[in-house]
Structure 1
Amino acid sequence: MTYTKSNSYVDGSSHSSNISSPRIKSAYVKENIKASRNTQNVKSVVLNALAFTENEDVQIYTYVVNDFNNYSKNANLNITINLNLLSPANSTADTVDFFSLMDSYLQKKSTRYDIYFYDLIYTTEFEHYFLNLKEWIPQDHIDMFPYAEKSESFFYNNKLVGLPVYLDYTVLYYNDKLLKKYNKSVPKTWDDMIEIAKYILDEERKQNNTDLMGYNGGFIDAEIGTGGLYEFMYTFRDSVDDSFPDLISQNAVNALKTMKRIKNEISSDSIFKSIDYSIEKLMDGNGIFLKFGYFSW
Structure 2
Amino acid sequence: MNSTITNNSSSIKNEKNEENKEINHISKSLHFSEEVDINIFAYSVEDGYNYKAYVDGFNQYSRKNNLDIKVELNLMTKIILHIPQTWDELIETSKEIIEKEKALNNTDLVGYNSFIIRSKNKNFSKEIELNVLAYTVDDGIAVKTYIDGFNQYAKDNNIDINAVLNIMTGKKFIESFDNHYFMIESLLKKKNNKYDIYFYDITYIKNYSPYLLDLKDLIPKEHLSMFDENILSQMCYYEDELPSTICLSTLYSNKVLLDKYNKRIPKTWDELIETSKEIIEKEKKLNNTGLVGYNGFMYDADFGLCSIYEFIYSCRESYNAPFPELTSETTVNALKLLKKVKTEV
Identify the TM-score tier after normalising by the shorter chain. Answer: 0.5 to 0.7
- In structure 1, the residue matched to 2:133 is 50
Q: 1:162 aligns with which of 227, 243, 248?
A: 243
2:336 paired with 1:251: no
Q: 2:176 aligns with which of 94, 112, 117?
A: 94
Deviations 1:50-84 (A, max 9, x none): 211223x2432223212211211210112222222
Q: Which runs of 5+ in 1 are unaligned?
A: 1-39, 267-297
| Contact 1:219–1:228, Cα closer than 8 Å, also in 2 | yes
Q: C-alpha separation between the residues in 2 aligned to 1:209 and 1:217?
A: 24
The aligned runs of 1:1-297 (5 Å cut-off) are 43-55=126-138, 57-88=139-170, 94-147=176-229, 150-151=232-233, 153-157=235-239, 159-164=240-245, 167-175=247-255, 177=257, 181=261, 184-201=263-280, 207=285, 211=289, 212-222=291-301, 225-266=304-345
Tell me: CA distance 1:203–1:146, structure 2 relative to 1, closer, same or farther (3 Å). closer
What's the offset of the Cα at 1:184?
Answer: 4.8
Deviations 1:194-252 (A, max 9, x none): 233344555666x5657254334332234553322221111111111222222211111
Give SS of 1:231's match: helix
Q: C-alpha separation between the residues in 2 aligned to 1:148 and 1:85?
A: 31
Tell me: CA distance 1:81–1:202, structure 2 relative to 1, closer, same or farther (3 Å). closer
| Contact 2:140–2:167, Cα closer than 8 Å, also in 1 | no
Q: Which runs of 5+ in 2 are unaligned?
A: 1-122
| Contact 1:219–1:225, Cα closer than 8 Å, also in 2 | yes
One-letter code of the match for 2:216? Answer: K
Instruction: Kindly indicate whether structure 1 or structure 2 has the higher relative contact order, using CA contacts under 8 Å at least 6 residues apart.
Output: 1
Give SS of 2:191's match: coil
Tell me: CA distance 1:127–1:148, structure 2 relative to 1, closer, same or farther (3 Å). farther
Give SS of 2:200's match: strand
| Contact 1:123–1:153, Cα closer than 8 Å, also in 2 | no
Q: For this pair of structures, how many residues does the alignment match?
A: 219
RMSD: 3.1
- In structure 2, the residue matched to 1:18 is none
Structure whose CA Rg is larger? 2
| Contact 1:49–1:114, Cα closer than 8 Å, also in 2 | yes
One-letter code of the match for 1:259? Answer: L
What's the offset of the Cα at 1:139?
Answer: 1.8
Give SS of 1:151's match: helix
Deviations 1:93-125 (A, max 9, x none): 821111111111211222332211110011111
Deviations 1:250-286 (A, max 9, x none): 11111111111122222xxxxxxxxxxxxxxxxxxxx
Q: C-alpha separation between the residues in 2 aligned to 1:197 and 1:81?
A: 46
| Contact 2:257–2:279, Cα closer than 8 Å, also in 1 | no
Give SS of 2:297's match: coil
| Contact 2:131–2:165, Cα closer than 8 Å, also in 1 | yes
What's the offset of the Cα at 1:136?
Answer: 1.3
Q: C-alpha separation between the residues in 2 aligned to 1:64 and 1:220?
A: 30
| Contact 2:253–2:265, Cα closer than 8 Å, also in 1 | no
Give SS of 2:253's match: strand
Percentage of matched positions with identical amino acids = 37
- In structure 1, the residue matched to 2:37 is none
Deviations 1:125-169 (A, max 9, x none): 111222222211122222333349833654321x334332x6442
Tell me: CA distance 1:41–1:108, structure 2 relative to 1, closer, same or farther (3 Å). farther
More strand by share: 1
Q: C-alpha separation between the residues in 1 aligned to 2:230 and 2:127?
A: 30
Tell me: CA distance 1:68–1:169, structure 2 relative to 1, closer, same or farther (3 Å). same
Q: C-alpha separation between the residues in 1 aligned to 2:258 and 2:211?
A: 52
- In structure 1, the residue matched to 2:104 is none
Tell me: CA distance 1:149–1:204, structure 2 relative to 1, closer, same or farther (3 Å). closer
